[in-house]
Amino acid sequence: MPFDFYKYLKSPVDNSKLMDMPVIKISKRRTDRFVTYDKAINRLDFIAGQVYQDETLWRLILWANPEYFVEFDIPTGTVIRVPYPTNDVISEVTQILINNRDK
């Protein structure tokens, strides 16, 4: 089942409203993977599918490369960081979202 970060953005006061997405800074790990990005042959969802076996986790890759606001900002030939292992990264992001919600 895909990671549903939206559930952590629901307002504790009004469950039908979403709170603002906080800044997500994913820690660097010795186990991170690195991929040379090429707009002509791969996209973040494709890379996420290969590394995480879940293409919906492309946001993790974008958040791990904060110098790029959207995927289209990434120049071909750029080495991008793919945070790994998946469970550790999802736990870290979940904690950031929970901490933001509880403020």
User: Residue holding tokens 């793919």?
Assistant: 82
Contact criterion met (CB below 8 Å) for 64 and 82: yes
* Residues β-bridged to residue 82: 33
Residues in the chain: 103
Taking phi first (over 0 means left), then psi (-120 to 50 degrees means alpha), and beta for anything else, what does residue 98 get?
Answer: alpha
pTM: 0.90
Task: Look at residue 8 in the predicted model and tell me its pLDDT.
Answer: 85
Task: Look at residue 2 in the predicted model and tell me its pLDDT.
Answer: 77
44-102 residue pLDDT tens? 999 999 999 999 999 999 999 999 999 999 999 999 999 999 999 999 999 999 888 76
Contact criterion met (CB below 8 Å) for 89 and 28: no
